[in-house]
Amino acid sequence: TLASLTFRPLKSILTLTAKMRLRMNSSQVSYLTLSAYFETGPFKYLFFMILTLLYILILCANVSLIVIICMNRSLHEPMYLFLCSLFVNELYGSTGLFPFLLLQILSDIHTVSVPFCFLQIFCLHMYLTVQFLNLVIMSYDRYLAICYPLQYNTRMTTKRVAMLIVVTWLFSFLAIVVLTSLSFSLQLCGNIIDKVFCLNYSIVKLACSDTSVNNIYGLIFTAIAIIIPLSSIFYTYIKIINVCFSGSKQTRQKAVSTCTPQLISLLNFSLGVCVEFLQNRFDMSSVPKMLRSFLSLYFLTFPPLFNPVLYGLKMSKIRNIYARPVL
């Protein structure tokens, strides 16, 4: 009994010292290791060339459509201005990923500094948020154009279009500032991320401090940035479909020609986000590392490449401008 009384304070001191040492070590994490990169050997130069070509195609396709929309007064309509915002966001998201990815492929040591990791988290999460909100206002625009054609010009004014675009970007910026600030204040107990790029949830999983505030804000952020936008999009398209069934053939043709690209774009982007969400929340160790890496890049690479082609081919005004002969 005397021995236990003697060693109990010593045990408490040792436990407290261990906790302080762990806290000290976690606060000294200065770099993070991205462990999802697989050994490619001589093929890394082939992957580098493929990704470089993909990035160039994304830049050319999105910049071309932005220039076409900005330079042609006939395209200064709400739908095309929202598309312009979408293409700018895709350029932004791709630039937040591809240069970093290309450097990591050529490097043999896949590490990244903590500040740069948080910079990438900010860029990629803002891209995701702006993309969903852009699709929301685009669906709202089509809803007004098809369901209330006579009131469209009075409801969707230039001032309202500008306000919707500014609110989309400003809200996304503020929401992601809060998200990254909460994660940046966490104390990390490890430095290995099972990804080829940095995401917020990967940082939260490394934390040894209390993450309840992060989890609560993450749920609120997911509801506001993903669930509510998706619900509103589906609601507007249900209304559009009802009008199409009860309307004339001309109304149906107009709805199909303008809404089909948006629905395909939404499904393509949502599929990539769902795949990434499942990889973050569930154990995917049984899936080959190479396949996991490619799937995690889907929502960051395919929408920016696919959307300009889709809208360029489906939108008659853009298609006619592309087809116009050069004098």
In sequence order, what are the residues at sequence separation of 6 or more whose Cβ sits closer than 8 angstroms to the Cβ of residue 60? none
Tokens 């350029």 belong to 91
Model pLDDT, residue 93: 93
pTM: 0.84
Q: Is the pLDDT of residue 21 over 60?
A: no
Range picked from 85-94, 235-244, 276-285, 292-301 for highest mean pLDDT? 85-94
Model pLDDT, residue 324: 60
Q: Which tokens belong to 175? A: 């929401």
In sequence order, what are the residues at sequence separation of 6 or more whose Cβ sits closer than 8 angstroms to the Cβ of residue 69? 75, 76, 80, 81, 83, 84, 87, 318
Note whether 201 and 280 are within 8 A (CB): yes
Q: Round to whole Å and give the CA distance between 201 and 276.
A: 11
User: Domains of the chain, with CATH numbers?
Assistant: 29-323 (1.20.1070.10)
Bridge-based pairing of strands 192-193 and 31-34 is parallel
Model pLDDT, residue 10: 45
Model pLDDT, residue 11: 47
Q: What is the maximal distance between C-alpha atoms in the chain?
A: 101
pLDDT band with cut points at 50, 70 and 90 for residue 321: low
Residue 158: burial class (beta carbons within 10 Å; 0-12, 13-18, 19+): exposed
Tally of residues, the chain: 327
Could you give the dihedral angle defined by the CA atoms of residues 108, 109, 115 and 117, in that order, rounded to the nearest 10 degrees? 70
Q: What DSSP string describes 61-102?
A: HHHHHHHHHHH-GGG-SHHHHHHHHHHHHHHHHHHHHHHHHH
Model pLDDT, residue 133: 93
Model pLDDT, residue 312: 76
Could you give the dihedral angle defined by the CA atoms of residues 12, 17, 20 and 24, in that order, rounded to the nearest 10 degrees? -170
What average pLDDT does this structure show over 142-146? Answer: 87
Q: Is the pLDDT of residue 28 over 70?
A: no
What average pLDDT does this structure show over 267-276? Answer: 85
Tell me phi and psi for residue 188, to 5 degrees. -95, 135
Tokens 């209304």 belong to 239
Q: Round to whole Å and give the CA distance between 171 and 129.
A: 9
Q: Which tokens belong to 212? A: 């309840």
Q: Is the pLDDT of residue 88 over 60?
A: yes
Q: Is the pLDDT of residue 242 over 50?
A: yes
Q: Round to whole Å and give the CA distance between 48 and 34.
A: 17
Please report, as a single letter, which amino acid is at residue 118: F
Please report, as a single letter, which amino acid is at residue 98: F
Q: Round to whole Å and give the CA distance between 65 and 82.
A: 12
Q: Is the pLDDT of residue 14 over 50?
A: no
Lowest-pLDDT choice from 41-45, 187-191, 244-248: 244-248
> Mind spelling out the 3-state secondary structure of 99-139?
HHHHHHHHCCCCEEEHHHHHHHHHHHHHHHHHHHHHHHHHH
Tell me phi and psi for residue 177, to 5 degrees. -60, -45
**45-84 per-position pLDDT tens digit:** 888 899 999 999 999 999 989 998 888 888 888 988 999 9
Bridge-based pairing of strands 192-193 and 111-113 is unpaired
**110-131 per-position pLDDT tens digit:** 888 989 999 999 999 999 999 9
Query: What is the share, in percent, of the chain residues with pLDDT greater than 70?
Result: 85
**161-192 per-position pLDDT tens digit:** 999 999 999 999 999 999 999 998 888 888 88
Query: What is the share, in percent, of the chain residues with pLDDT greater than 90?
Result: 27
What average pLDDT does this structure show over 222-233? Answer: 85
Within 282-297, where are the H helices? 289-296
Q: Round to whole Å and give the CA distance between 297 and 166.
A: 28
Lowest-pLDDT choice from 149-163, 168-182, 280-294: 280-294
Model pLDDT, residue 145: 86
